[in-house]
Structure 1
Amino acid sequence: MSQDPIIAPEGSAWPDPAALADAVAELETALGTALPEPYRSFLLTYGGGAPYPLIFDYAPDEDDPERFLDRLNRPARVQELANGKTFGDGTPQGFAPIGEDPGGLIVLLSLHPGDFGAIYAWSATAEPWGGPNNAPDMLVPLGADFGAFMATLYETEDLMGYEHWSTPQRRALQRELVLP
């Protein structure tokens, strides 16, 4: 099923563009690097939010690969997660946690020079990063960059994703999702 991408804000209103510019600048300072395009433009335009379609395939689970991209985090949430506030020393180093599914799968944006901007899935844990149960080789590639990942989002024939996404507030505030 084909669906033009839409997005709704996380809260009850769209963020102020000037406040978004400040929040993105603060995030880049905290991360120590400029964010890659098209993710940076996405944040400056939408500030995060709930995209639709929202289903992506998580390859390690062959029996049930479909996952929901529940939200793309606001800049403040990305910074909070990157600083280890939620997962402590289990937080993957050199990545920005940009999104989440409802079951503990975190969508990461690589800040490493070799794959800068690539998107990965991380099964969240507080186990120390770099240890045997939480290491870079356990990350699952989702896209070469943010735009490539977003292009993989889809809907099922039974509209399972829309049932998860659709609330009166989201429908009232939805916008077309356009990436540069």
Structure 2
Amino acid sequence: MVKIKKLNRKITEKELKQFEKKNKIRLTEKYKDFLLKWNRGSPEPCLFDISKDQGTSVLNVFNGIDAQYDDLEEVIDIYEFRLPEGFIPIADDPSGNAICLGTKVPYYDHIYFWDHEQESETPDDMSNMYFLASDIDAFLNMLYEDDES
């Protein structure tokens, strides 16, 4: 079971609705539940598999609403024209890659890995996006520890 080291204050449903309205985003129910419970944090365990070809990565930290560091709104602004439309960066790895949530059909609720080293000049190019899980809960269940330590 994943534990999240809380790094930010709790938020309210009202703040969450204000965030969605201000940023014109419809967050998924499971992701909203995650934000209401944790609102930013570092998971333990933190390793996840990207794909057979891409290998493994480490989840550094989940972004949060109204956070001093790793603020979800600021990170969304940074990646606005870099990610395909309908994705927001909900976390990152130590190499500058993003773990993304699909906020529009057909990717709604799905979690993807965005590889910045394969970034395209065309933001809607999905060639550097790797499907990880059907939703945030399934993604959290994928995280594992390094057995070699």
The reply to whether TM is greater than 0.5 is: yes
Is the Cα contact below 8 Å between 1:49 and 1:71 reproduced in 2? yes
Cα 1:139/1:16, change in 2 over 3 Å: closer
- 1:160-171 equivalences in 2 (<5 Å): none
Tell whether 2:134 aligns with 1:144: yes
- 1:75-154 equivalences in 2 (<5 Å): 75-76=65-66, 77-83=71-77, 86-87=78-79, 89-124=81-116, 128-130=121-123, 135-154=125-144
Query: Max radius of gyration: which structure?
Result: 1
Cα 1:7/1:119, change in 2 over 3 Å: same
Q: Which has the higher strand share?
A: 2
Q: Quote the Cα distance in structure 1 between the aligned partners of 2:81 and 2:88.
A: 14
Shift of 1:90: 2.0
Tell me the residue number matched to 2:41. Answer: 49
Q: Quote the Cα distance in structure 2 between the aligned partners of 1:74 and 1:129.
A: 27
Q: Quote the Cα distance in structure 2 between the aligned partners of 1:59 and 1:16.
A: 33
Counting matched residue pairs gives 144
Consecutive unaligned residues in structure 1, runs of 5 or more: 160-180
Is the Cα contact below 8 Å between 1:58 and 1:66 reproduced in 2? yes
Shift of 1:23: 3.9
**RMSD across aligned C-alpha pairs, in angstroms?**
2.3
Is the Cα contact below 8 Å between 1:57 and 1:66 reproduced in 2? yes
Shift of 1:158: 2.5
- Paired residue secondary structure (1:114): coil
Matched residue type, 2:112: Y
Tell whether 2:4 aligns with 1:7: yes
- 1:8-23 equivalences in 2 (<5 Å): 8-10=5-7, 14-18=8-12, 21-23=13-15
Tell me the residue number matched to 1:73. Answer: 63
Q: Which has the higher helix share?
A: 1
TM-score, length-scaled by structure 1: 0.69
- Paired residue secondary structure (1:26): helix
Q: Quote the Cα distance in structure 1 between the aligned partners of 2:74 and 2:11.
A: 21
Cα 1:124/1:136, change in 2 over 3 Å: same
